[in-house]
Amino acid sequence: MRTGPFPTGPKSPGRPLVRPLHHLALLGLLLLPNLAWAQRRGAFEYPPAPRADVIEDLHGTKVADPFRPLEDDNAAATKAWVEAENKITFAYLEGIAARGPLKERLTKLWNYEKFTTPRREGKQYFYSYNTGLQNQSVLFVANSLAEAGRVLIDPNTLSADGTVALGGTSVSDDGRFVAYSVADGGSDWQTWRVRDVATGRDLDDLVKWSKFSGAAWTKDGKGFYYARFPEPQPGADLKGSNYFQKLYYHELGKPQLGDRLVFENPSEKNWMFQATVTDDGRYLVITVRKSSAPKVKVYYQDLSAPAMRPFELVGSFDAKYQFIDNVGPWFYFETDKDAPLGRVIAINVNQPAPESWRTIVAESTSALQNANMVGDRLIATYLQDARSLVRVFDLDGWALRDVPLPGL
């Protein structure tokens, strides 16, 4: 849903942003004859894969691994085998009669402009825009919602072959800088850079070996928090295991080598950290994960005394705790602790024991999808009867009103 006059791209009143895709069900029917043919034995002459007589002794059990040579993705034999396999694959795909019409139809359906909701930082608005078929959306900045924006970061120009992708972006609160990460060749590794919004040019700052991390600016705009792994051994950056992530603070204008270590746990190799600076700038909230599961631990640090170590606020990986915001020492979280459908709680940093937690918004009969704090209000979005329900609460949990939505 558009909420204002967006500054670029043709206006398209009435054009739906979500298209019905039931026609994709035809895909299976179109490809069935080809799949049946491909499944016949002897339809293809596959190239022999590189092999070796490798047998591992795992605690007394002999395990054969004849295809161990394929683990060397840079070996000439591996590259030749991949190339031969690709020749078979693409020759088969090019012979599918429905492929051309299907591509043409999908191209038409996907060719519509796309916007993200503008986000105001300082006196400017930041949003992403895609004309329709661009590989990556472009980050724009505008002085107001009524005037045309300008390109700030176009990830489609980061590499000639399109293999460099824009990862995370984080704008400083005053709107002067945007920290952005790029990933090369589909890798999870992120390299962070900082762009001056006014000039559109990058600063000299370069932060490497970050992965699964955002960038959290301090309120003074002098630097940001990020998570990184130890630098891998040469040649192992794309295939080595990554353990012992650490949380750092990078000060603008300083080399990464001097970044301040904020948090780590040398005894827990799987812990990963996400940093958030509270809106009042007083606290750093550190969310700790040890897997892809949403169950987390939470620490906090008083930024008025940055020399002090972070303190534990939620001490066990027993539930989801999504930080919303704080009001003084009270930290608000969306959680499924003792509430499978979700609730909002508040924890006082001076009395963090679970028995002192306050339930602000109790569990409902509908699933709580997310909650945000806007001014002195909580905005909660529920899934009710397969549609969105948006409800406004005060900070003590009293329901004030529902937000009328334009449709399902």
- Helix ranges (DSSP H) in 234-292: none
Give whole-number Cα distances, 212 to 245, 271, 311, in Å: 10, 12, 23
Q: Which among 309, 302, 292 is positioned nearest to 350, based on CA atoms?
A: 302
- Joined together, the tokens standing for residue 109 give 């359906």
Q: How confident is the model at residue 2 (pLDDT cuts 50, 70, 90)?
A: very low
Residue 11 has pLDDT above 50, yes or no: no
Q: What's the sign of the alpha-carbon dihedral 290, 296, 297, 300?
A: positive
pLDDT tier for residue 12 given thresholds of 50, 70 and 90: very low
Q: DSSP character for 377?
A: E
The amino acid occupying position 93 is L
What is the percent of the chain with per-residue pLDDT over 90, rounded to a whole number?
A: 82
Burial class (CB in 10 A: 0-12, 13-18, 19+), 304: exposed
Contacting residues for 176 by C-beta, under 8 A, at least 6 apart: 122, 196, 197, 198, 221
DSSP three-state, residue 256: helix
Predicted pLDDT at 236: 81
Tokens 């499924």 correspond to 336
pLDDT at 218: 97
**In Å, what is the CA distance from 124 to each residue of 46, 110, 151?**
57, 30, 13
Q: What are the pLDDT digits (tens) for 296-318?
A: 999 999 999 877 889 999 999 99
Q: What pLDDT score was predicted for residue 34?
A: 55
Model confidence at 345: pLDDT above 80: yes
In the numeric block, which tokens belong to residue 82? 């991949």
**Could you tell me the two tokens for 370?**
């997310």
pLDDT of the residue at 240? 81
Ramachandran region, residue 132 (left: φ > 0; alpha: ψ -120 to 50; beta: rest): left
By the 8 A CB rule, do 384 and 374 touch? no
Indicate the average pLDDT of the chain: 90
pLDDT at position 7 over 80: no
What is the pLDDT confidence band of residue 408, given thresholds at 50, 70 and 90?
confident
The pLDDT value given to residue 42 = 53
Mean per-residue pLDDT for 88-111? Answer: 95
Q: Is the dihedral of CA 156, 160, 161, 165 positive or negative?
A: negative
SS3 for 110-169, per residue? HCCCEECCCEEECCEEEEEEECCCCCCCEEEEECCCCCCCEEEECHHHCCCCCCEEEEEE
Q: Which of 122-126, 202-206, 231-235, 396-400 shows the lowest mean pLDDT across its residues?
A: 231-235
DSSP 7-40: SSS---TT--SS---GGGGHHHHHHHHHHHHHHS
Query: 286 vs 162, which has greater pLDDT?
Result: 286
84 half-sphere exposure, CB direction, 13 A CA radius: 13
- pLDDT, mean of residues 152-176: 95
pLDDT for res 282: 96
- Of the two residues 28 and 244, the one the predictor is more confident about is 244
Residue 6 pLDDT? 37
Closest C-alpha among 310, 308, 358 to residue 331: 358
> pLDDT value at position 17?
38
Cα distance between residue 336 and residue 315, in whole Å: 15
Q: Give the whole-angstrom CA distance, residue 344 versus residue 285.
A: 17
Please tell me the predicted confidence (pLDDT) of residue 13.
34
What does each C-alpha distance from 227 to 84, 98, 159, 273, 289 come to in angstroms? 40, 46, 25, 6, 12
Structure tokens at 367: 């699933």
Between 354 and 185, whose confidence is greater? 354
Cα separation, 358 vs 351, whole angstroms = 11
Task: Give CA angle at 228 (224, 231), nearest 5°.
Answer: 135
Q: What is the pLDDT of residues 117-141, one digit of tens each?
A: 999 999 999 999 999 999 999 999 9
Q: Dihedrals φ, ψ of 338, to 5°?
A: 60, 25
Contacting residues for 15 by C-beta, under 8 A, at least 6 apart:
112
